[in-house]
């Protein structure tokens, strides 16, 4: 059971501050990999909450593996995002304010496949033709969009 699931046993649906990692995966055509979320029915970016004892990079690697079956050679930090735009109320009533370290996965290996019950589908989309997305994912992509076209060795936090 995850840290947040355990915490929810004690606090119910009350707002929590959830620290985690978001992982942007781009293919060779500069298309982004999104997951169709089973909880909201909207498209989102790969990622999730940090577990006790994990670093943010370890969270990124675990979430990438769990949600897609992919591995990355390393991760490039694009941004750290927080604030009122990262508030979300899940369909079950759980409320959260997310603090997300946003990484670009570099040196991807494997073939993307749905590997958990959080996604019903994985698909690459051109950055100019994105589907309806979960609000936090949409906000994250607006914040990091210009950093996605930089070569892998360039750019960190602005």
pLDDT in tens, 125-158: 999 899 999 999 999 999 998 888 655 544 443 3
pLDDT surpasses 90 at 18: yes
- The pTM of the full predicted model, rounded to 2 decimals, is 0.89
pLDDT surpasses 50 at 90: yes
What is the reported pLDDT for 54? 97
| Secondary structure of residue 56 in the 3-state scheme | helix
Check the CA dihedral 50-54-57-60 and report its sign: negative
pLDDT-based confidence at residue 110 (cuts at 50, 70, 90): very high
Tokens (6 digits) for 27 = 């293919």
Phi, psi at 128, each rounded to 5°: -90, 0
What is the reported pLDDT for 143? 94
The Cα 105–Cα 41 span in angstroms is 24
- The pLDDT tens digits for 46-71 are 999 999 999 999 999 999 999 999 99
What structural domains and CATH numbers belong to the chain? Answer: 3-148 (3.90.79.10)
């Amino acid at each position: 059971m995850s840290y947040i699931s355990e915490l929810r046993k004690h606090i119910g649906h009350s707002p929590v501050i959830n620290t985690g990692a978001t992982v942007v995966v781009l293919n060779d055509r500069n298309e982004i990999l999104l997951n169709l979320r089973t909880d909201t029915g909207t498209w989102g970016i790969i990622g999730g909450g940090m577990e006790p004892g994990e670093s943010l990079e370890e969270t990124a690697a675990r979430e990438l593996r769990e949600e897609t079956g992919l591995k990355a050679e390393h991760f490039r930090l694009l941004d750290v995002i927080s604030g009122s735009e990262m508030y979300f109320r899940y369909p079950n009533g759980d409320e959260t304010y997310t603090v997300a370290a946003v990484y670009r996965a570099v040196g991807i290996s494997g073939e993307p496949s749905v590997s958990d019950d959080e996604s019903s589908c994985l698909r690459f989309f051109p950055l100019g033709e994105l589907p309806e997305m979960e609000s936090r994912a949409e906000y994250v992509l607006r914040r990091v969009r210009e950093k996605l076209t930089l070569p892998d060795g360039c750019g960190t936090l602005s």
